[in-house]
Chains A and B, each alone.
Chain A
Amino acid sequence: MVNYHFGRGRARLAPYLLLLPGFLFYLVISLGPSIATAAYSFTDATGIKGAPVHFVGLENYREFLFMGQASRDNYDALLRTLIFCFFVTTIQFTLGLVMALIVNQKLKGVNFFRTIYFMPVILGAVIQGLIWSLFLYPMGGPMAQLIGLFGLESEFLGGQPAQAFAWVMFVQIWANMGITMMIFIAGLQTIPTELYEAARIDGASSWSVFRNVTWPLLTPVTNTNLLLNLIGSLQAWQLFLVLLGYRNGTQVLGYLIFAQGFGQTSGSVTSSFRQGYAAAASIVLFLLVLVIGLTAQTLLKRREERIIG
């Protein structure tokens, strides 16, 4: 006989009733807008209350994917998104792991360094952007003075698009490395110390201990971190807005969606709000995240099963 905690009769409804508020919240805050975005992507919606909304079929998708040079620019933004994702995920993951290994040691003042490394995470994109805008101020800012010692000068965020793009990558990594590190620390602290002691007794070197004990047992948090880094970097847009604004050669898909939806694409004048078109671009980004996320998840799950069983 099944031991059912909530009793019989109407009492069996209790768990469903308890789940319902959360589900309704998810429906209203997350699932609802996602479905609405998919629906909007087939319209010419502007997001302005009262403005007529017309069904335009696949026109927004045709424009985004196939219409003129603008569509080729969109593919460039797509490629840039993938480049951003690759470098940010790789570097942030590696740095997060290295920092976690360092601050997981029993060293003096280690909590102070954990706090320092984690602090950028809590600042928010606007503050992060402001800090780095000031730090990279090309006329006498700290970084300008530093490279000035070597007779160099740079426009930093306002210079060549590739250079500006690289700086946004750097700030993105700086801003989020702390959370990667904390997840790794949590994982490291679940590894039994007996395993390390046994390995040491067997004469294993530090590298062997890492390779054969730490790394395999970190698999669950490794997977979590990789997926979080992948999805977070594919969806990034706030730092592009705060640090660069709408500049040719720097947009990623996330920022392109914002700029199209809120009329930020025409330089000093406001362009039209094209939220139907932006919704179509959102769906394209969603599909990209879905494909990459699912592929990564499948591969990582297989790896986890192989290592941990």
Chain B
Amino acid sequence: MSKKLLTLISALVLLVMVLAACGGSAPAPVAPAASSGEAATTAPAAAPAGEKATLKVLVHQNPPMVEFMNTFNEKFQSKYPNITVDMSVVNANDLSTVTQTRLTANDVDVVDIFGFANAAQPYMKNVTPPNWQTLIDAGLLMDLTDQPFVKNYDEATIKDAGTYNDKVYAINLGRVSYSGIYYNQDLFDKYGVKVPTTWAELVAACETFRSNDVSCMTAGGKDGWPIFVGAYGLTGALYPDQAALVEGLWTGATKWNDDQALKMWEKMKVYTQDMMESGASGIAGDAAPGRFASGEVAMFPGGTWYAAAIDAAQPAFKWGYIPFPGSDNADDNKYLFGKYDQGWAVAANTPNKDAAMKYLAEFSDPANYQAFANAVGFIPTQPGATLDTAIGKAVAPFLANFRVGFEQYWVAPKGAGQYANPWASYFKPFGTFDDPKELADKVQADLQSGLDANK
């Protein structure tokens, strides 16, 4: 009897496990598709009665942006009480991984996507397509071409940072410069230092600060990239046409160890070893604005997106922002290099398309967008918006000279070594190199190795 019982129990256990494994969750309710013309260039005014929906939104960590989004979401939910916004915040480094995972699992409706960049160019051989392109090719992002709110953004932005194969898949919310330097006005005044417009003046300014026991520059070195991105202005000053630079590197017309590049490496050595403060490698990226706002450091090479965080850390702190003076010719130092930053894309398979379109339409409403630009400090991508903030005023004189930076064009050839980049962080104390010529040869050799492997 007991043996039969045991057999029966084991069979039942197996059956339960198999059923549990095979069972799926109930299908999610499908919201009605957006009717034609529902979204408008200004957001819909009324809150229509409808099916309840939870809209899952994914954004990357950027404190002023997250703060704005929390406020915006509350307003949006008041206007559309049947829609609940469930917003997740992830570290910028993890955004791509989480986006892919959640899109694949149909677990997100609206995703934060950086401006389309790093597309494979005709002269690039055997490169893997960028992630955003793979997501679109896989049918995971929704075609937004016919959505009325797309027209709220300037055409160039839609074309450069959200269009693929003549269809719009993302609206981009702003450009940022990453090649400028914040400077502490009080320290400059105190030590009688003139705001530098050339490399020689920048070197002299740092010497003055150091001789007065004031650290010259800081950066969020713990995240790795702020050290080398902070020096992209040096690359920009020597290679103003960064698209041509990338093509030249691929075709062999430009080399990372020619005379021009050697000047860049020599300056990068000064930047990492003489200008950057000791201990910068331990400062987290989002803590760096606070370090600068503490008033103990004279300069902070960083992106325009840090302005709001600096103000939040010390509202009374007085700062200015200038293009990185990487050249000895002041006219070469009037360019700002940067990228298209955050944008919105929608999951193609979202069951909440109607809610997602309302969300984007509401966000794209000129008044809301202006508030967003003010809060985050992005250079606006809506034609009517202005950047009425300190950073807006600081970059205004250089906006005509705004250029998309190297990093947004560059795709490394397969087989290229790990040093095939123009990164200041290869120098000590962050890296192992001390001699600019030795580093220049290594960088070019690592790049050439990849180019040769793909011939």
Contact = CB atoms under 8 A, between A and B. Distances in A.
Interface of A: 5-7, 10-11, 13-14, 17-18, 20-21, 24, 28, 44, 46-52, 63, 67-73, 133, 136-139, 141, 144, 153, 155-161, 245-249, 262-264, 266-274
Contact of B415 (A28, A68, A248, A274): A68
B428 interface: yes
10 contacts: A21-B13, A48-B138, A50-B138, A69-B417, A70-B416, A153-B279, A160-B431, A161-B432, A267-B423, A272-B131
Contacts of A21: 13-14, 17
A87 B444 CA distance: 34
B421 interface: yes
Contacts of A20: 14
A61 B282 CA distance: 37
B228 interface: yes
Interface stretch (B72-80, B92-100, B253-261, B326-334): B92-100
A272 B133 CA distance: 10
Contacts of A272: 128-131, 134
B426 A14 contact: no
Contacts of B421: 267
B276 to A, nearest CB: 10
B16 to A, nearest CB: 9
Interface in B1-17: 3-4, 6-7, 10-11, 13-14, 17
Nearest to A163: B429
Interface string B209-225: 00000000000011111
A11 B7 contact: yes
A121 to B, nearest CB: 25
B279 A138 contact: yes
Given A17-B7, A158-B281, A68 B414 contact: yes
A263 B94 CA distance: 9
Interface in B97-124: 97, 100, 103-104, 114, 117-118
Given A14-B6, A69-B416, A267-B228, A157 B423 contact: no
Nearest to A15: B10
Given A6-B6, A68-B452, A73-B417, A137 B282 contact: yes
Interface string B424-455: 00101111100000000000011001101100
B25 interface: no
Contacts of A68: 413-417, 449-450, 452-453
B450 A158 contact: no
B135 interface: yes
A17 B7 CA distance: 8
A267 B407 contact: yes
A246 to B, nearest CB: 7
Contacts of B418: 69-70, 73, 248
B159 to A, nearest CB: 20
B279 A46 contact: no
A68 B415 CA distance: 4
A138 B117 contact: no
A144 B281 CA distance: 13
Given A48-B135, A267-B423, A272-B128, A160 B228 contact: no
A70 B415 contact: yes
A138 B282 contact: yes
Contacts of A137: 282
B222 A133 contact: yes
Given A6-B6, A157-B222, 5 more contacts: A67-B453, A68-B449, A69-B450, A133-B282, A245-B224
Contacts of A44: 128
B137 interface: yes
A-B pairs with lowest CB-CB distance, top 7: A158-B281, A68-B415, A69-B417, A50-B138, A268-B225, A69-B449, A139-B279
B97 A262 contact: yes
A89 B279 CA distance: 31
Nearest to A140: B279
B282 A139 contact: yes
B402 interface: no
Contacts of A73: 417-418
B131 to A, nearest CB: 6
Contact of A155 (B96, B281, B446): B281
Nearest to A246: B224
B139 interface: yes
A46 B11 contact: no
Given A51-B134, A160-B428, A274-B128, A71 B415 contact: yes
B283 interface: yes
Contacts of B118: 269
Contacts of A133: 222, 282
